Amino acid sequence: MKAEGVTIRVRGQVQGVGFRPFIWQLAREFGLRGRVWNDPEGVGIEVAGPGTDAFIAAISARAPGLSRIDAVEVAAFAGALPEGFEIAESRGKGAQTRVTPDAATCPDCAAEIRGAGRRGGYAFTNCTHCGPRFTILRGLPYDRAQTTMAAFPMCADCLSEYRDPADRRFHAQPVACPACGPRLWLEVGGQERPGDPVAQAALRLKAGEVLAVKGLGGFHLACDAANATAVARLRDRKHRPSKPLALMGRAADLARVAVLGDADLALLHDPAAPVVLVPSRGVLPDGVAPGMATLGVMLPYTPLHHLLCDAFGGPLVMTSGNLSGEPQVVGNDEARKKLGGFADAFLCHDRDIARRLDDSVERATPPMVLRRARGRVPGTLPLPPGFGGAGQVLALGGQMKGAICLVKNGQALLGHHLGDLDDALCAEEFGKAVADYTALFDHRAEVVAVDAHPGYRATQAGRAMGLPLVEVFHHHAHLASCLAENGWPLEGGPVAGIVLDGTGLGPDGTIWGGEVLLGDYLGFERHAALRPAPLPGGDRAARDPWRNALMRLDQAGLTDWADELFGGRPLDTVRQAAARGINAPQSSSAGRLFDAFAAVLGLCADAQTYEGEAAMRLEAMAGGAGQGLPFAVSGGLIDPAPLWAEVRRAIRRGEPRGLLAWRFHAGLAAAFAGVARDLVLRGAARAVVLSGGCFQNPLLHDLTVQALGDVPVLTHRVTPANDGGLALGQAVIAAARGLRGAERN
């Protein structure tokens, strides 16, 4: 029957979130007839009836919690419609719509696995409101045949739920039960053990064993967080002497070991279920997070994790299951091979993981994302005003904290954390991710954007693609990534960017890392920078903080104090190499200044066992409040030389080292904020941007914001300030250049 109605196109994150049954129920509520379907562009609806206007308004107002609507487009329709309202088969192939990230177990499913029904105790329970999405997806549209659940034909009961629009499992692609779905088992020495695998796993954890647990995006290594011997055993086996270990537990378990504010609890309960950094109560063994004042904690986010945490009854260490520096293990055979030397037993299942995803790591206060991964990808960001008409761009990020970014249809898709590409297997994962995202999202890059450093593996990969290439300087990409996240318009005017990080190549051929830039998407100039110092030994300077301290103290005329503090090390050899410029590049790195200051206070002087250890310990040590340490600011240089003499005097008069650590942060913040604030006040810039990995230090972040006063400040909240956000900046810079070139033509 033909009817005068409308066609509605809903774009955004609208597949795999229960959107079609939501539309079906909404149409019944308003007495409408028509149909709804999935296709590569999102969700399509054809509908007619007197309540159409109210129906359209309710689509956005009452959309499912996991959905993200970008647009609701309405046009006239005069075709044939059914008498009632139906959910039609998916149409077409390809990908214009967004894919839903994996979502933590919803309250209904959590209650169901603890009940007496047929899914009681079932580790793979899910519905349209929760469960695996991106980690099981092989292609679009998002249908069961395109996921790793295709190997598990539904039983009659599950199929009935799947086909019932009134059921919360209607078209939930991973729907399963013990009769037809994935199974769980515990194995020791390659042999499956009979009995309840969760109960056995909990007993082994209570006995101090280390377990490999197959989760959503890969394996974890788990042990009793309150058992110092078990924690030490895990560290010894994994050769991870001091990097903090993430924890998992029920909310009540976590509250006993960490201070959880309202914002922390809200973030922990977010469907993304990230690891959240929170203040420690200091009741767990020091080995969990040596030298840290915070803990990384997360709630159980799959039914398996809920059941395991219930059976164990306390916080568990839950750290990535991988060899040092390598990607997280995802396959059962791979786990047996690589984790066999770490784990006493394996808690495995037979649902394949389509792509490995580490846990996301975030803070609630101030809001920031340190690692963007499971639960956050493949979420997209809208391009800022002025970027309409931007072509398809592929940006490949940097060498550390690899991530890629795709621009298409007015959206930027920043991919998941891939690790450090100096590791061969992480570089291999990088190549897989480029192919995976390109195919999954039907992306046809017109240009590829890369870091200007010729030695980066991502840069080399981009050059080999045969596409038009845009080279972006490292710190310009940091600035642009923060602008893009905040929706700064293409014609929004220049900003003052305080960019503080480890190292990145600058246009002058030196290594930057402590800059005040004046610029926008299309260009920049370096307005001020930390006074450069040599990095003796090149990359070794990033591992051995005493080397940076030696250079900075010598620079300040305090050679005698350097000899006193660091005697017994090859000081003369290092000094001679630096003086001759032998493997000692000049650098303005703020990260290396943090290392130098930490070494002077006796933190990690000889070596860091993981990236950022010295700076993290310095931030954890900081306490009290006082006058910031002095920096000299003149002629575009921010010189730390004056602070060293003050520190020497303060130590001799017995000033607490925690106070000195706080004063260092305050002095650095004030020096850079003063330069940037002046650019805004005299009209050269319209706002200040804070970017670079150093701004993941919450103390530095807050002190800098305070020092900037009432000028507009843009910060990272949903993308990483560190190199994990570089690809977003590269992508929008390339897009901006393309648009400007099109204007000229």
- Pair 299, 227: CB distance under 8 Å: no
486 a catalytic residue: no
> Strands 495-505 and 688-691, how do they pair?
parallel
Distances (CA, A) of 135 to 268, 357, 415, 742: 20, 7, 13, 38
Instruction: Please check whether residue 101 is in contact with residue 378, taking contact to mean a CB–CB distance below 8 angstroms.
Output: yes
Mapping DSSP to helix (H, G, I), strand (E, B) and coil, where does residue 499 land? strand
Spatial separation of the C-alpha atoms in residues 101 and 704, rounded to whole Å: 33
For 694, the token pair is: 């150093």
- Select which of 20, 374, 543, 677 is catalytic: 20
Residue 743 buriedness (CB in 10 A; 0-12 / 13-18 / 19+): exposed
Residue 745 is a catalytic residue: no
Give which of 698, 504, 702, 716 is closest to 590, Cα–Cα: 504
**Alpha-carbon distance values, 732 to 96, 394, 411, 484 (Å):** 19, 10, 10, 7
Q: Are strands 637-639 and 469-472 parallel, antiparallel or unpaired?
A: unpaired
Query: Closest Cα to residue 610, out of 543, 660, 676?
Result: 543
Instruction: Report d(CA 593, CA 532) in Å as an integer.
Output: 10
Which listed residue (11, 33, 38, 552) is catalytic?
38
Cα–Cα nearest to 546, from 529, 521, 564, 526: 564
Cβ contact 378:417 at 8 Å: no
Within 8 A by CB and 6+ apart from 369, the residues are: 274, 360, 361, 362, 376, 716, 717, 718, 719, 720
CB atoms within 10 A of CB 726: 38
Catalytic residue list:
20, 38
